[in-house]
Amino acid sequence: MSESANPPVTVPGGNAIQPRPILWLITLVAVGLSLFQLYSAGIQPLGLFYQRSVHLMLIMMLAFLIFPVFGPNRKRGVLGWVIDAAFFAGAMITGGYMVLYLDEIIRRAGFWSQTDIIVGCIAVVTVLEASRRAVGLGMTIIGVIAILYAFAGPRGELPWLGQFMPGILEHRGYNLDRVVGQLYLGQEGIFGLPLGVAATFIFVFVLFGAFLESTGAGKFFIDMAYAATGRQRGGPAKAAVIASAGMGSISGSAIANVVTTGAFTIPLMKRLGYKPHQAGGIEAAASTGGQIMPPLMGAGAFLIAEYTNTPYLDVVKVSILPAIMYFATVYLFVHIIALKQGMQGMARSELPQMRDVLREGWHFLLPLAVLVWLLAMHMSPMRVGFYAVVTMVAVAALRYAIWFLFVAPRQGQPVTLASTGRVVWAGFLKLVEGLELGARNAVSVSLACAVAGIIVGVVGLTGLGLKFSAMMMAFSGGNIVLALLMVLLASLILGMGLPVTASYIVLIVLVGPALTAEFGIPLLIAHLVVFWYSQDSNVTPPIALAGFAGAAIAGSKPMATGVQAWKFAKGLYLIPMFMVFNPEIIIGGPLHILAWNGLIAILALGAFAAALEGYLFTRMSWLPRIAISGAIVAVFYPNFMLEAIGVAVMIVAIGANWLASRRETHPAGTGTT
């Protein structure tokens, strides 16, 4: 059937124009993927390779359907259809071969047949192409470079390439069979830990977030935040911070969070008096923090749990205080700007009432409560996600049924066979919408993890991680601050071309051994530091994707908005450093030390916000701003004397600013009433 016979429609979650049969096929594959994931999560757990190979096969099929080969703004044409059909078939071969011949492959371990190698080559090329379309060219280029590096060396497929390698990066080189065996036929490549986490924990929680989104949870969180903070100074901006913390912990993407909550919060911030680039920057910084906010955090939190062999609940527990510190910093920035620009809150008549908000959306809290309770019971995160999704669907269906059976008749809408059929059909379509949206939202994360598996496989094969650690020691001279600065710069560079999850995986594989073995940083803290630094790529120019999304909604210049987002999100720099120098807040310690560390950290972050903005109770001169900046460094360094001096300097600077504001309000000789 020709395309002209079927009117094209826009695909949600992708900008490509698709003929209707392709949309039906996308829905079929997406729903099939989500149902398969729910089945394997809560009904019948599958073996490692079965689970991951079927997951990757369906993910790649979905990617080739949603993202045309020549981009979303060009028609596929005959050539495009041929290429897409070839890669679609390659995706089916990649997963199907592993499922059908897994026992034979295991028996041949290390002695691969020619068919194994050919299918492995198809798998690697197909994964890289799917990543190019769904994740971006940067991830694909890094994957290709990793493969070329494995081939470079005197015994490799490309011995001449090894001549251009610096001495420390040299290795023996590997042939095609060895590399393909490592990347496709083993447990350390494409089907390694990153894809394993994506195929189990991450997907089911992305699906949970999709059901919350499709049933209106975003509006519930936003209304609740407005009801709580709307009447305060800069109320809409504070609501943006709180709503982004709530919605961001379930959306799985800072950019999606900006688009979801920013559509409501940014216009209200502008109306209240925030400049457009400030409004976009505040939303971007708050949305980025959603990825570090328990209980659902970003996809990297599940990877941290697997890499460090730490229960996910423990990762959540130790992340609570740092997340509060981050959002407190953004909140203080918002409050200081509101004071500086003389803003007021919104009128009560413009705000929703908390009682009404909870009455309309209380059911959104039940699945979250079930999720937290099951995590606290030490149930597997995959099974927890399954029950959370089932609870969400059950609660939504029950609420729908109650309205239809009891509320609608009172409003003059009698229950008939026809109306019942319409309601059931509408509920079925809503269920399909949630299943499809969850699969769509997982495509980029899963493909990023698959290519990250290629990189991890090459690092393990060539020993690149240890070599990178040696280089890190040489460049930093053993100075831990310089080493952390190098990690930060590396995360920014990687973040320009990689999503946050992929950036975290690549970085932790390369710098993790140095941070733990050479600098003595505890394993969990090293992973949290890299995870936090990886978030910063969302808000740091020149490529600040969350900032640019905020700029699009705010109607401001992207770079100016990115700079504001970078400023508001500076807790992403300071808090990881505080974790390193004060590990008690993560690994535990005496209560008085924890209380002291928490107190001075929040004081330092608040003083930092005031110094950066140049205002607290009144305008600050340059001298106290410089003094506060130096005091923050002293506070974060693990020396009690320096901490005490730093705290004293901050208290003096803040106290002097308060006295200055009092003198401005009540000049000498005027008296007070």
pLDDT at 253: 67
Tell me, what DSSP letter sits at residue 295? T
The values of phi and psi at residue 152, to 5°, are -80, 125
Torsion, Cα 618 621 625 627, to 10 degrees, reads: -120
What number of other Cβ atoms are within 10 A of residue 384's Cβ? Answer: 28
Peptide bond into 322 cis (omega under 30): no
Neighbouring residues of 32: CB distance < 8 A, sequence distance ≥ 6: 58
pLDDT at residue number 250: 60
Residue 482 phi/psi, 5° resolution? -65, -35
Q: Cβ distance 295 to 371 under 8 Å?
A: yes
pLDDT score recorded for residue 1: 37
**β-bridge partners, 602:** none
Cβ proximity of 287 and 258 under 8 Å: yes
Q: Which of 564, 79, 521, 626 is nearest to 334 (CA)?
A: 564
Q: Max alpha carbon distance in the chain (Å)?
A: 95
Cα–Cα distance measured from residue 502 to residue 497, given in angstroms and rounded to the nearest whole number? 10
Q: Are 534 and 488 a contacting pair, CB within 8 Å?
A: no
CA distance 219 to 522: 40
CA–CA separation, 544 vs 43, rounded Å?
41
Name beta bridge partners: 10: 17
Contact 613, 340 (CB under 8 A): yes
- Three-state secondary structure call for residue 354: helix
User: Is residue 18 within a helix (H) or strand (E), and if so which, with residue range?
Assistant: strand 17-18
Mean per-residue pLDDT pooled into runs of 10, the chain (673 residues): 35 56 93 95 88 95 93 82 95 92 87 92 96 87 92 86 77 91 89 88 84 77 80 78 71 71 80 86 87 77 88 88 88 86 77 85 84 82 88 85 76 74 84 91 88 89 79 81 86 75 85 86 92 85 79 85 88 88 83 82 86 86 86 76 85 89 72 46
b/e code 400-416 from CB counts within 10 Å (16+ = b): beeebeeeeeeeeeeee
Q: List CB contacts of 161: < 8 A, sequence separation 6 or more.
A: 148, 151, 152
Which is nearest to 193 in space by CA: 144, 4, 201, 523? 201
pLDDT value of residue 16 = 56
**Whether the bond into 21 is cis, omega within 30 of 0:** no
Pairing type for strands 9-10 and 17-18 reads: antiparallel
- Identify the helix (H) or strand (E) that includes residue 598: helix 591-613
